[in-house]
């Protein structure tokens, strides 16, 4: 037996164990071999945890061929088909079978990665083929400042897109901006009042938040203004040209602000805002009505779903449409018109129920397919170091641009200190560019390296620390690695060229441990594409970097008899680390 083309080692080992189980216990049907990576590396590479369950199942049917789980394990180990991957299988007292894979295989994998300069993605068939995926993320609101919550959505959403793109899916990055809704009534009315000649003399509003606050104050304080604002919304929705013009102006100002943040973060998005779906709402509602899902509640059209204490309001009692209406029309459009297979929404956890209700309604209406997926990735709030909601010292919400600037400024200072101390030899220009990459990378990593559902405490000191699980530590480790490869090349050992020679890359236990870790890359990517947890990429990158540090601490690379082998391993590690940085949207440096 040998692995099929693009079958991962884990898949192949699982297949071997499934066959061994079939042979050892033929009376049992479809036993899951429960194959996992060994938790303790000295036991082996993969373990089969099925023997205990099989022992019980056999006993349950009165079969007493085996007198202990250990005997089941031994029979499974004996029945493994001869194959090209496993070199040994041993049975633990509790019955688990630990298997070790061939060093030559690990070495071949690393040589190929070093030579090709690419870490292999999981096979597309692992997902049942290429999928059309729409990721709805970032999605700030017009005329309001993008806040740290939008930052989280932008960063997490971007990584999810990058992972899906790496796997070869057809990914649509959609910015569902809040460019519609009742707030535009007061904004437009305020524009007409405050800047009556806005067409001939367009105001240079850079800070729409102040404009928004003033409009809101007028709205709250002045009844006549409030009434006018309500009429303006109706006029806007009816397509009044003057209202439309002001609306477009407001959207444009905000759009420029958003674009500045995206440019810095290196994130691309296609804007398809709420307004896009406005004309589709009546049809979507009538489909829900036809499916018998709607109820009239005091003149409003609502959808009640089991287990939820409130309904979706698809049409308000005054006939207007709101957030729920838009999302219903959007989900219908995405599934039925665009033919999207998976839709992923990235917002704060507070909106989880809203989305789950939309998913249920879509399913009940028959818009979903059995192969499709609708997912909400929710995240917790960003807190200051005091554990309270993240605010500036004066109590204002933190502007994203300022936050990114601050991270870069601090990083620049710390790099300058390193230069002064003789720890690095970057020129002033290089310091500036490195500070930007590391500063932005640090903000992203701080967000991505934990489970999205946890609240996280924003701390510049922590995220810019050179030690521990931070972007700074990882980027420094990678730069160190790159410098080893460069030095070897200066000594006449080119990693890529050396990789074409058949060689034993796993003679030392630290080499083997690192090589094995590198083979896990595609499995990690596959799991992120399945469960949308970018933290897995971070954990993996950190693990690789720790294994690398252990390796270089114990094994001399340069001037060693096995220099060529070790440099190839360094290069393969570099390729895998860079692939991880790319997935996280973090720019790496070859030199710090
Ligand atoms: N604009 C919303 C907010 O700031 C997020 C929109 C998320 N996407 C959606 N389809 N509802 O909270």
204 confidence band (pLDDT: 50, 70, 90) = low
Buried/exposed code over 147-186 (b: 16+ C-beta within 10 A; e: otherwise): bbbbbbbbbbbbbbbbbbbbbbbebbbbbbbbbbbbbbbb
Whether residue 205 has pLDDT greater than 70: no
Q: SS3 for 557? A: coil
The protein residue whose alpha carbon is closest to atom 5 in ligand 1 is 139
Per-residue model confidence (pLDDT) at position 206: 63
Domains, the chain, in order of start with CATH, read: 9-101 (3.30.1360.70), 183-265 (no CATH), 400-584 (1.10.730.10)
Per-residue model confidence (pLDDT) at position 253: 87
Of 139, 156, 254, 322, the residue with max ligand 1 atoms within 8 A of its CB, to mutate for a pocket test, comes to 139
Cα(230)–Cα(321) distance, integer angstroms: 13
pTM recorded for the entire structure: 0.93
What mean pLDDT value characterizes the chain?
94
The arithmetic mean of pLDDT across residues 537-558, rounded, is 97
The predicted-structure confidence for 38-94, as pLDDT tens digits, reads as follows 988 888 999 999 999 999 999 999 999 999 999 999 999 999 999 999 999 999 999
Per-residue model confidence (pLDDT) at position 383: 85
In ligand 1, which atom is closest to the CA atom of 355? 11
Instruction: Report percent pLDDT > 70 for the chain.
Output: 99
The protein residue whose alpha carbon is closest to atom 6 in ligand 1 is 139
Measured in angstroms, how far is the CA atom of residue 346 from the centroid of ligand 1? Answer: 8
Query: What does the CA dihedral 536, 541, 547, 552 come to, rounded to 10 degrees?
Result: 180
Cα(458)–Cα(402) distance, integer angstroms: 14
Determine contact, residues 169/197, Cβ cutoff 8 Å: no
496 confidence band (pLDDT: 50, 70, 90) = very high
Measured in angstroms, how far is the CA atom of residue 178 from the centroid of ligand 1? Answer: 7
The protein residue whose alpha carbon is closest to atom 7 in ligand 1 is 139
Read out DSSP for 172-235?
EEEE--B--STHHHHHHHHHHHH-TTTTTS----S-HHHHHHHHHHHHHH-HHHHHHHHHHHHH
Measured in angstroms, how far is the CA atom of residue 177 from the centroid of ligand 1? Answer: 7
497 confidence band (pLDDT: 50, 70, 90) = very high
Q: CA 238 from chain center: how many Å?
A: 39
In ligand 1, which atom is closest to the CA atom of 346? 7
359 confidence band (pLDDT: 50, 70, 90) = very high
In ligand 1, which atom is closest to the CA atom of 144? 4
Instruction: Enumerate the β-bridge partners of residue 174.
Output: 136, 270
224 confidence band (pLDDT: 50, 70, 90) = very high
The predicted-structure confidence for 97-122, as pLDDT tens digits, reads as follows 999 999 999 999 999 999 999 999 99
The protein residue whose alpha carbon is closest to atom 8 in ligand 1 is 176
The predicted-structure confidence for 340-349, as pLDDT tens digits, reads as follows 999 999 999 9
Cα(545)–Cα(475) distance, integer angstroms: 10
In ligand 1, which atom is closest to the CA atom of 347? 7
Token pair for 532: 């949308």
Per-residue model confidence (pLDDT) at position 396: 74
The arithmetic mean of pLDDT across residues 468-474, rounded, is 95
User: For 120, left (φ over 0), alpha (ψ -120 to 50), or beta?
Assistant: beta
Question: Which residues, judged by CB distance below 6 Å to any ligand atom, belong to the binding site of ligand 1?
Answer: 136, 139-141, 176, 178, 327, 330, 345, 347
Whether residue 473 has pLDDT greater than 90: yes
**E strand spans, 298-338:** 300-303, 312-315
The predicted-structure confidence for 245-258, as pLDDT tens digits, reads as follows 999 989 998 898 89
In ligand 1, which atom is closest to the CA atom of 178? 1
The predicted-structure confidence for 448-465, as pLDDT tens digits, reads as follows 998 999 888 888 899 999
């Amino acid at each position: 037996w040998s692995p099929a083309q693009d079958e991962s080692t884990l898949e192949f080992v699982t297949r071997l164990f499934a066959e061994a189980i079939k042979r050892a216990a033929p009376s049992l049907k479809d036993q899951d071999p429960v194959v996992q990576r060994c938790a303790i590396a000295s036991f082996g590479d993969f373990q089969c945890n099925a023997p205990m369950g099989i022992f019980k199942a056999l006993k349950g049917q009165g079969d007493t061929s085996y007198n202990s789980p250990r005997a089941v394990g031994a029979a499974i180990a004996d029945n493994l088909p001869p194959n090209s991957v496993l070199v040994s299988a041993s049975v633990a007292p509790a019955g688990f079978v630990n298997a070790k894979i061939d060093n030559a295989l690990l070495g071949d994998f690393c040589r190929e990665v070093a030579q090709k300069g690419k870490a292999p993605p999981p096979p597309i068939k692992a997902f049942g083929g290429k999928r059309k995926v729409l990721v709805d993320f970032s999605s700030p609101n017009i005329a309001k400042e993008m806040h740290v919550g939008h930052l989280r959505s932008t960063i997490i959403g971007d990584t999810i897109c990058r992972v899906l793109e790496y796997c070869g899916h057809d990914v649509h990055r959609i910015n569902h901006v809040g460019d519609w809704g009742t707030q535009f009534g007061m904004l437009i009315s305020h524009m007409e009042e405050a800047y009556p000649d806005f067409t001939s003399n367009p105001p240079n509003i850079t800070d729409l938040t102040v404009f928004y606050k003033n409009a809101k104050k007028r709205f709250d304080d002045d009844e006549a203004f409030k009434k006018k604002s309500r009429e303006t919304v109706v006029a806007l929705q009816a397509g009044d040209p003057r209202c439309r013009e002001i609306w477009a102006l407001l959207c444009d100002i905000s759009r420029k602000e958003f674009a500045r943040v995206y440019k810095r973060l290196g994130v691309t998005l296609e804007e398809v805002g709420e307004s896009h779906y406005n004309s589709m709402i009546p049809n979507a509602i009538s489909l829900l009505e036809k499916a018998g899902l709607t109820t009239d509640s005091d003149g409003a059209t609502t959808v009640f779903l089991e287990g939820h204490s409130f309904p979706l309001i698809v049409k308000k009692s005054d006939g207007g449409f709101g957030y729920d209406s838009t999302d219903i029309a959007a989900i219908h459009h995405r599934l039925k018109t665009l033919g999207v297979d998976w839709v992923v929404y990235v917002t704060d956890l507070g909106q989880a129920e809203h989305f789950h209700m939309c998913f249920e309604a879509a399913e009940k209406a028959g818009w979903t397919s059995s192969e499709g997926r609708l997912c909400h990735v929710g995240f917790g709030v960003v807190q200051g170091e005091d554990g309270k909601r993240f605010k500036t010292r004066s109590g204002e919400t933190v502007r994203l641009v300022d936050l990114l600037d601050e991270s870069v400024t601090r990083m620049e200072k710390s790099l300058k200190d390193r230069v002064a101390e003789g720890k690095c030899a970057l020129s002033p220009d290089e310091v500036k560019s490195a500070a930007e990459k590391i500063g932005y990378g640090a903000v992203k990593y701080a967000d991505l390296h934990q489970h999205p559902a946890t609240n996280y405490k924003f701390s510049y000191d922590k995220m810019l620390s050179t030690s521990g699980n931070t972007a700074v530590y990882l980027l420094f480790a990678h730069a160190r690695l790159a410098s080893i490869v460069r030095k070897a090349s200066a000594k006449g050992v080119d990693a890529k060229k050396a990789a074409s020679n058949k060689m034993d890359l796993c003679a030392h236990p630290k080499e083997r441990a690192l090589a094995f870790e590198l083979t896990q890359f595609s499995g990690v990517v596959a799991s992120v594409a399945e469960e949308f947890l970018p933290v897995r990429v971070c954990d993996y990158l950190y693990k690789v970097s720790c294994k690398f540090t252990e390796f270089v601490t114990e094994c001399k690379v340069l001037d060693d008899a096995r220099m060529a082998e070790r440099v190839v391993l360094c290069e393969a590690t570099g390729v895998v680390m860079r692939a991880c940085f790319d997935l996280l949207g973090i720019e790496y440096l070859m030199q710090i």
